[in-house]
């Protein structure tokens, strides 16, 4: 039996009420009122598709030995690098083994499900035992646009294997069509969208039923046997109409999540699948289908293991942990829609030395420090001499990962002079549970949130962007209040 061993998800905690968009832009685009219900998820200033993929994967792998992962497939249409393996960066941040297969999937909004189908085929071949599949997207739009309302940011991650599965994989059916409802050239920031009626009437309403119908015929399962029908579609009326066409009663159809986060691109079918699993009981059958130049449809049966599976934050936890963005202008700055003067201090910066990054990749991306073999004192970065004054042993250390360890704020400061899109910059000393201290930047919090003694956890985030050198994006770890999941 192969299937899903564990699942996780990540939706950024920032939310933008769509009525704020309408209030700011409705004078220009009043028709967007039609889709201005609820709120959409928004990446913080230091988040992107890669950081969300890492966070969803950490949620998925909670309590699981990461040495068991044989491959990492990362699916996205908005990864930061066109020619540098994004899956390789994620694998290093997750401290996975070096002898794994890492691969990027992209080029279509169905890339997430395509990566999952490919992973199941690899498992069936016997060459790999456990494969981590993660999908993530942070899609950009111009302001005052329907798609600014429809889109949301998010990621989902699944560990696939043959042991202790919580949802058995029963088969898949795929169709591929060069149906161009939108596209984005390789050097362009924004998608070019065709008319909405086109994607609604010729895309969603025909391609998804084709894939789901083919899956049900192939597996011999009827819609009456299915508990959850899961598929993305911007249009709520058409979403319901497609379900009726497939013979699914309204209570079988998982909501498209427009009001709570928006559509998360290549991740959305898998975000919805994770949401369906966390609501399922043993024996429930789930049909999930994607959309994007075709469709991949898959059938799963939830097993008894779902009752005892470790529960991370997943979709429910992400939806519960939210903070409202107070103004549309901040959102526009975070997305690069408007440009503020950053001052002369923003002009400083240096080229990243690829040689140093390679030598210290586990220390920087994986936050791996060391633990003294003599006295047990942990420390980051790795020292040559133990920092314990009562020990001071020389070069007798073992690797010690810090990323999953909680800590406590010892001291902190708010820096109004440092360059920031959201001043002041907050940073301070964190004492980790079990030992070790680090000077680290804080994120996902305000100056009023930070207190000495506050518990924190670490998150993988953007550190800087070198736009003058081919758009190099640097990553590191930051601390956020531990109460903010």
Predicted confidence pLDDT, tens digits, the chain (485 residues): 999 999 999 999 999 999 999 999 999 999 999 999 999 999 999 999 999 999 999 999 999 999 999 999 999 999 999 999 999 999 999 999 999 999 999 999 999 999 999 999 999 988 899 999 999 999 999 999 999 999 999 999 999 999 999 999 999 999 999 999 999 998 899 999 998 899 999 999 999 999 999 999 999 999 999 999 999 999 999 999 999 999 999 999 999 999 999 999 999 999 999 999 999 999 999 999 999 999 999 999 999 999 888 778 999 999 999 999 978 999 999 999 988 877 776 766 667 788 989 999 999 999 999 999 999 999 999 999 999 999 999 989 999 999 999 999 999 999 998 888 889 999 999 999 999 999 999 999 999 999 999 999 999 999 988 887 888 899 999 999 997 55
- Give the separation between CA 244 and CA 231, rounded to whole angstroms: 13
Residue given tokens 């440009």 in the structure block: 339
Tokens read off for 436: 């070790």
* CB 3, CB 167: distance < 8 Å: yes
> Which top CATH class is 345-367+402-481?
mainly beta
**DSSP state letter for 345:** G
- Give the separation between CA 233 and CA 204, rounded to whole angstroms: 7
Residue given tokens 């319901």 in the structure block: 240
Rounded to a whole number of angstroms, the distance between the first and last alpha carbons of the chain is: 33
In CATH terms, is domain 3-334 a member of 3.40.47.10? yes
- CA triplet 323, 325, 329: central angle to 5 degrees? 165
- Give the separation between CA 93 and CA 90, rounded to whole angstroms: 5
Closest CA to 459 of 57, 5, 8, 14: 57
* CB 224, CB 257: distance < 8 Å: no
Closest CA to 40 of 59, 26, 22: 22
- pTM for this one? 0.95
Write the burial class of residue 337 (CB in 10 Å: 0-12 exposed, 13-18 middle, 19+ buried): middle
Task: Give SS3 for 334.
Answer: helix
The domains spanning 3-334 and 345-367+402-481 adopt the same CATH topology: no
> Domain ranges in the chain?
3-334, 345-367+402-481
* CB 13, CB 322: distance < 8 Å: yes
If residue 465 lies in a helix (H) or strand (E), which one and from where to where? strand 455-466
Tokens read off for 150: 């429809």
């Amino acid at each position: 039996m192969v299937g899903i061993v564990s699942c996780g998800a990540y939706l950024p905690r920032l939310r933008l009420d769509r009525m704020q968009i309408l209030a700011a832009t409705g004078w220009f685009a009043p028709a967007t009122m039609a889709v201005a219900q609820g709120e959409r998820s928004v990446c913080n200033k230091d988040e992107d598709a890669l950081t969300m993929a890492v966070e969803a994967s950490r949620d998925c792998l909670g309590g699981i030995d990461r040495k068991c992962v044989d491959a990492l497939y990362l699916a996205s249409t908005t990864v930061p690098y066109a020619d540098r393996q994004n899956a390789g960066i994620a694998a290093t941040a997750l401290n996975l083994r070096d002898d794994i297969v890492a691969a990027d999937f992209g080029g279509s909004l169905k890339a997430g499900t395509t990566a999952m189908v490919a992973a199941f085929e690899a498992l069936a071949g016997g060459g790999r035992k456990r494969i981590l599949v993660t999908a993530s997207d942070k899609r950009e739009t111009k302001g005052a646009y329907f798609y600014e309302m429809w889109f949301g940011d998010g990621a989902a991650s699944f560990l696939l294997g043959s042991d202790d599965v919580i949802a058995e994989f029963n088969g898949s059916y795929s169709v591929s069509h060069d149906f161009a409802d939108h596209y984005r050239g390789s050097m362009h920031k924004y998608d070019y969208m065709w008319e909405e009626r086109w994607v609604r009437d010729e895309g969603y309403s025909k391609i998804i039923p084709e894939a789901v119908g083919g899956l049900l015929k192939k597996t011999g399962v009827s819609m009456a046997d299915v508990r959850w029908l899961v598929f993305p579609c911007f249009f709520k009326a058409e979403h319901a109409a497609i379900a009726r066409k497939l013979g699914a009663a309204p209570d079988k159809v998982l909501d498209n999540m427009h009001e709570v986060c928006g559509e998360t691109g290549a991740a959305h079918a898998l975000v919805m699948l994770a949401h369906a699993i966390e609501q399922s009981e043993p024996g429930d059958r789930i049909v999930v289908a994607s959309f994007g130049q075709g469709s991949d449809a898959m059938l799963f049966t939830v097993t008894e293991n779902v009752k005892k599976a470790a529960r991370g934050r997943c979709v429910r936890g992400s939806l519960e942990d939210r903070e409202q963005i107070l103004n549309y202008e901040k959102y526009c700055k975070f997305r690069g829609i408007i440009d503020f003067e950053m001052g002369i201090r923003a002009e400083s910066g240096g080229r990243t030395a690829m040689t140093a990054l390679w030598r210290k990749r586990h220390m920087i991306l994986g936050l791996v420090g060391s633990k003294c073999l003599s006295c047990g004192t942990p420390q980051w970065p790795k020292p040559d001499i133990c920092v314990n004054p009562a020990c001071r042993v020389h070069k007798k250390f073992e690797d010690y990962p810090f990323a999953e360890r909680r800590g406590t704020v010892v001291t902190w400061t708010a820096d109004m002079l440092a360059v920031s899109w959201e001043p002041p910059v907050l940073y301070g000393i964190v004492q980790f549970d079990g030992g070790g201290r680090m000077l680290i930047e804080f994120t996902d919090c305000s100056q009023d949130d930070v207190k000495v003694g506050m518990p924190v956890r670490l998150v993988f985030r953007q550190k800087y962007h070198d736009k003058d050198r081919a758009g190099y994006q640097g990553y590191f770890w930051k601390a956020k209040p531990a109460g903010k999941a």
